[in-house]
Structure 1
Amino acid sequence: MKINNKEYKITSVDKKAEALCQKRWDSIAKPLHSLGKMEDYLVQTAGIIGDVNVKFDKKALIVMCADNGVVAEGVTQSEQNVTAIVSENFLSDKATAAILCRQTGAEIFPIDIGIAVDTKLENHKIAYGTRNMAKEPAMTREEAERAMEVGIQKVAELAGKSYKIIATGEMGIGNTTTSSALASYFLNEDVEKMTGRGAGLTSKALEKKIAVVRKAIEDYSPSFTDAVDALAALGGFDIAGLAGVFIGGAIYHIPIVMDGFISTTAALTATRICPECADYIMASHVSKEPAAEKILAALGKEAALYCDMCLGEGTGAVTLFPILDLAVEIYEQMSTFEDIDIEAYVELK
């Protein structure tokens, strides 16, 4: 596939490694499949990395931070300056996601991919925020592809440093509006069913948000030739960057963990651009946003956690990390049926 005039090769996951990992799970002295998704995540990872020796000793969270011009339409409770303030908090362990990373042994990588002011974050700014999609397409196609390239290259960098798993997060006032637009378009669902209150809106403001999303889809979608066109017109730099992270996971064979609504929308976007990357994506939790379950279903993913979380930043994705670490400990250390000399469980028909 080609993004930003660069060719990338994506190969299939290793089904033999998946089968061998499942065989190891089935040899462990417990009822078959009794650890549910803890087993499934490791089997998926074995296929991704092509090795039954699954490790998550180096974990990362990539947080794409950007502003969205559509906030000018009054579709958010917070002012645009909140994006920069919260984003820089990631650097001082004061933000929720940063605290969770510290507690779970993960490293956080916040990226300024399009904040409206200059920041102290790692700088990959495409522009100082997107355009107002109520007035014109949010990005050009070239800008969207450049943003995706930022995500791909960040995965390449972390892969080169032996990171074993990457969680996805975002920060950007107005990005539930852009996510609702993309999710509604890609799933061909009524905008009202896919648009929630985000960080908090009055009923009147929610009606305005729905109207803005509906009109943008009506205005721009007739000219779309592919998913990148949709991303450019309706999305944001944060979503485009995260779409690149999901595609990068498939290119460099690293599992990528989805977070909540914005992150899953980015994953949906990535799979519409590159269907093969779906096998490299893990679900963490189910967001409270109304579109969340529909997006997971469209991706064929089942989340492990139902915590009623809707914060973003990668908080749900990072919360999955301790569960994965526990799964690895059992996988590596628990006795097998042969070790304790008892008859193994068998699949019953």
Structure 2
Amino acid sequence: MQEFKIENLSTELDEKILNKTNNKTKPLGSLGILERIACKIAKIQSSLSPEIKKPTVVVFAGDHGIADDGVSFYPKSVSYQMLYNYMQGGAAINVFSRQHGIDFKVVDAGVDHDFEPELNIINRKIAYGTKNYRFESAMTKEQCLEAIEKGAGIIEDCHKEGCNFIAFGEKGIGNTSSAALILSLLANIPLEDCVGRGTGLDQAGVKSKYELLNEGLSKYTGKTDDALEVMTYFGGFEIAMIMGGMLKAAELKMTLLIDGFIITSALLAASKINPKVLEYCLYAHKSNEKAHISMLNHLGAEPIMDIGMRLGEGTGAMVCYPLVKSAVQYFNEMASFEEAGVSEAVEEAASH
């Protein structure tokens, strides 16, 4: 696998960044999470005047062999049908990215369908879906490495187009199953605590899903702490591509806005390859998929929002984007006490 040369964030401007936000015409800390966001982006960009340039969301799509066993509320065919919906601008991710003026791209990482060449879908298909990991490895090691490489290439292209702020989305019926297994193995959490409702399973459906995944897990003989082996056996082509894209984005010093359960599973895997990737991330929201909070806690992540979303596609990141934009705007445009001629708070006299 290619080496991703991710640098630790510089601490050189830390004091100046903190002073800048603290000297705005407001009580200390009164903009809450917005202050944390602004300081993080300033630190990532090593700038006292951070900018969000050509923000982009890339949705990676792939099919999963396990979907044939009924682990999802929807049939596998929904994956390719949703890509047509994306191209017609009718999905939630279209609505929100359009609303906020964010570039939108769709990647066929491994959908079980041939799309017409004239559709504006980036074709990086590895195969027509993964194999069923109840019986065998989802993909070969070579396919996993190819997916990581292709994901990195797509993000590098976005960067060349002027993008410094990236969000990831996904589409693939059955991919919460892969995310649950990735979480269970890489964070050492019992599988039962990682399996959730996905696209809307009832209690009986969740029980059946757990039993099917546990069957696959019982056949796994690879290392439980090796992200590449875990991704190869249980991952999806779209998740592996996102993993590569995240590592490349961090290498290029882009800001990553992390969506929900599946996207965070890709980040979890990426962080086991190079933990420095986490320094470049903002976490949009806590998904309503039950194990997402365990994943966030494992990464030491603080989500910006908790509004009960679990749609995927990158929608949580898009809904969060205006908050991120507001954070950068106040940091750059709000007057300091000195500029505004406003008196700062006076420290209480020691005698009090």
TM-score (ref. length: structure 2): 0.93
Give matches, 1:170-209, under 5 Å: 170-209=170-209
Change (3 A) 1:102 1:346: farther
Separation in structure 2 between the aligned mates of residue 314 and residue 243 of structure 1, nearest angstrom: 15
Are 1:79 and 2:69 matched, yes or no?
Answer: no
Are 1:254 and 2:254 matched, yes or no?
Answer: yes
Identify the range of structure 1 (37-46 vs 299-308) with the bigger mean alpha-carbon deviation.
37-46
Question: What amino acid is aligned across from residue 117 of structure 1 in structure 2?
Answer: H
Change (3 A) 1:26 1:74: same
Question: What amino acid is aligned across from residue 94 of structure 1 in structure 2?
Answer: G
Deviation track 1:159-184 (CA, whole Å, cap 9, x = no partner) reads: 11111211111000000111111111
Hey, what does 1:67 align to over in structure 2? 63
Separation in structure 1 between the aligned mates of residue 346 and residue 242 of structure 2, nearest angstrom: 42
Separation in structure 1 between the aligned mates of residue 300 and residue 191 of structure 2, nearest angstrom: 21
Are 1:100 and 2:96 matched, yes or no?
Answer: yes
Question: What amino acid is aligned across from residue 35 of structure 1 in structure 2?
Answer: L
Are 1:344 and 2:344 matched, yes or no?
Answer: yes
Question: What amino acid is aligned across from residue 258 of structure 1 in structure 2?
Answer: I
Q: Percent identity?
A: 31
Question: What amino acid is aligned across from residue 17 of structure 2 in structure 1?
Answer: C
Separation in structure 2 between the aligned mates of residue 102 and residue 225 of structure 1, nearest angstrom: 39
Q: CA RMSD in A?
A: 1.7
TM-score (ref. length: structure 1): 0.94
Hey, what does 1:20 align to over in structure 2? 16
Hey, what does 2:315 align to over in structure 1? 315
- 1:34 CA displacement: 1.5
Q: Is the 8 A contact 1:185 1:217 kept in 2?
A: no
Consecutive aligned runs of 4 or more in structure 1 exceeding 6 Å deviation? none
Separation in structure 2 between the aligned mates of residue 190 and residue 228 of structure 1, nearest angstrom: 20
Q: Is the 8 A contact 1:18 1:46 kept in 2?
A: no
Are 1:117 and 2:76 matched, yes or no?
Answer: no
- 1:33 CA displacement: 1.7
In structure 2, stretches of 5+ residues that fail to align are none
Which secondary structure does the structure 2 equivalent of 1:7 belong to? coil
Deviation track 1:169-216 (CA, whole Å, cap 9, x = no partner) reads: 100000011111111111111111111111122333322210122222
Separation in structure 1 between the aligned mates of residue 249 and residue 223 of structure 2, nearest angstrom: 30
Hey, what does 2:126 align to over in structure 1? 126
Identify the range of structure 1 (22-31 vs 166-175) with the bigger mean alpha-carbon deviation.
22-31
Change (3 A) 1:268 1:347: farther
Q: Is the 8 A contact 1:28 1:337 kept in 2?
A: yes
Deviation track 1:58-91 (CA, whole Å, cap 9, x = no partner) reads: 1100111000000121211211111011122222
Separation in structure 2 between the aligned mates of residue 266 and residue 10 of structure 1, nearest angstrom: 17
Are 1:33 and 2:29 matched, yes or no?
Answer: yes
Separation in structure 2 between the aligned mates of residue 324 and residue 62 of structure 1, nearest angstrom: 18
- How many residues of Structure 1 are paired with residues of Structure 2 in the alignment? 344
- 1:19 CA displacement: 3.4
Separation in structure 1 between the aligned mates of residue 34 and residue 92 of structure 2, nearest angstrom: 25
Which secondary structure does the structure 2 equivalent of 1:192 belong to? helix
Which secondary structure does the structure 2 equivalent of 1:111 belong to? strand
Hey, what does 1:145 align to over in structure 2? 145
Question: What amino acid is aligned across from residue 200 of structure 1 in structure 2?
Answer: G
Which secondary structure does the structure 2 equivalent of 1:15 belong to? coil
Which secondary structure does the structure 1 equivalent of 2:108 belong to? strand
Question: What amino acid is aligned across from residue 92 of structure 1 in structure 2?
Answer: Q
Separation in structure 1 between the aligned mates of residue 341 and residue 7 of structure 2, nearest angstrom: 41
Deviation track 1:23-61 (CA, whole Å, cap 9, x = no partner) reads: 211111111121122111121112222222211241100
